[in-house]
Amino acid sequence: MILKDIWLDVKAVQERDPAARNALEVLLLYQGVHALIWHRFAHWFYKHRLFFFARLISQIARFFTLIEIHPGAQLGHGILIDHGCGVVIGETTVVGDNCTIYQGVTLGGVGTQKGKRHPTLGNNVTVGAGAKILGSFEVGDNCTIAANAVLLKPLENNVTAVGIPARPVKKDGVRLPAEKPAAVPLETYCRMEERVKELEAQLAVLKAQVEKQTEKSEE
């Protein structure tokens, strides 16, 4: 089973990375594939509750690949970690099949509580360079998270999200209307105008007092 997963990861690189020339080159020279290979074995130890050996393998992989995948993370088939330097994948993360993860991505948590605290990615999800997906929620199938986005909320299927915090800009390939800023009620403007008038009146009184005090000083 592990060997099959490794082969699917190699094929994913061949299919989705235009720089990949052949399977042997991918297997021997791509650190994203190496990180996944190490993780497949570390995860086996983790599932069999051999936590020390699982963690040891993951730390060795981190040293050689600069990609940190907790042995508890559940990764699907055909995953491409492109370049990969700085990628961090937390313990309770779930990544579906045929996902693409670029360098600097964090699939992390936002708290210290036990239990599920990292995101779940569906199938065919693309996470751009430097993007952060933080928290225990689901990202639907076929979603794209733009580079450097910070996603803190769930996404439906077939959504593209951008920004900090990330918000959906496309759904099923169709651009979504831009969100309009919330309208300020007329009453708020009226209260602001009244307050400005009060301040102007206070300023006028203060100015008169200063002028009067100045005249007395001159006498």
Both 122 and 159 in one domain: the answer is yes
Q: Label residue 160 by pLDDT band (50, 70, 90).
A: very high
- pLDDT tens per residue, range 66-92: 999 999 999 999 999 998 899 999 999
Which structure tokens are listed for 196? 């400005």
Both 146 and 185 in one domain: the answer is no
With pLDDT > 70 as the criterion, what percentage of the chain qualifies? 96
Output the pTM of the full model: 0.75
Mean residue pLDDT of the chain comes to 90
Both 213 and 150 in one domain: the answer is no
Say what the pLDDT of residue 182 is.
Answer: 65
Both 111 and 75 in one domain: the answer is yes
Q: Label residue 119 by pLDDT band (50, 70, 90).
A: very high
Both 111 and 198 in one domain: the answer is no
Q: Give the domain range for residue 140.
A: 2-175
Say what the pLDDT of residue 188 is.
Answer: 82
Q: Label residue 180 by pLDDT band (50, 70, 90).
A: low
Both 82 and 165 in one domain: the answer is yes
With pLDDT > 90 as the criterion, what percentage of the chain qualifies? 62
Both 219 and 154 in one domain: the answer is no
Both 163 and 192 in one domain: the answer is no
Query: How many domains in the chain?
Result: 2
Both 124 and 190 in one domain: the answer is no
pLDDT at 219 over 80: no
- pLDDT tens per residue, range 2-46: 888 888 889 889 888 888 888 899 899 999 999 999 999 999 999
Both 163 and 208 in one domain: the answer is no
Q: Which of 139, 157, 175 is at the close of a domain?
A: 175
pLDDT at 169 over 80: yes
Q: Which of 143, 160, 175 is at the close of a domain?
A: 175
